[in-house]
Amino acid sequence: MSNIAFTETKINGVYIIDTKVYGDYRGYFMETYKEKDFKAAGLDYTFVQDNQSSSRRGVLRGLHFQKTHPQAKLVRVLKGEVFDVAVDLRKGSKTYGQWVGVLLSEDNRKQLMIPRGFAHGFMVVSDHAEFAYKCDDFYHSEDEGGLIYNDSDIAIDWPDVGEIILSEKDLKNPTLAESKIEFLTGGLL
């Protein structure tokens, strides 16, 4: 019996993942990834890089993707709470340009599985958050791509956290219409 439950979202390939938590007076234990359970759910990824970030309330990181080296990501929150978003950029997808968002927190211990061909971003809604993710391809700085977080065509319903804090790079991201980004399975069109 698996300790991991997979729930597909309204966008094909994006899953919310819940893990069974074993807790007692000492704390808790949980499995956050188990290859055979993921493969049994049809999620056959080989993760090659783990990343972690620390951010304060209002920080919005994204919407990011790698242009010719797209990455599948398994994301979760270690401390605090974030609103996590995946935007479908797959050529021919019936949900192209649509998004899925979920609150991930240290309390709900949910994870989000984002396949290749998506832009990804998150906003910190707690005072502080530590965010971790596994990637199935390496990061290539020269291959960065992004979309502006408030693109009206995508219309993400970001939580109201007061001031939104963006990097200089993310402030300059184009809209989806300006970028005309579409992914095939292995990379850009």
Catalytic amino acids?
A: 64, 133
Rounded Cα distance between 80 and 29, Å, is: 18
Report pLDDT digits (tens) over 118-155. Answer: 999 999 999 999 999 999 999 998 999 999 999 999 99
* 2 Cβ contact partners less than 8 Å away, ≥ 6 residues apart: 34, 37, 40
pTM of the model: 0.93
CB atoms within 10 A of CB 36: 8
| Amino acid letter, 140 | H
Separation CA 181–CA 59 (nearest Å): 25
* pLDDT tens-digit map of 98-127: 999 999 999 999 999 999 999 999 999 999
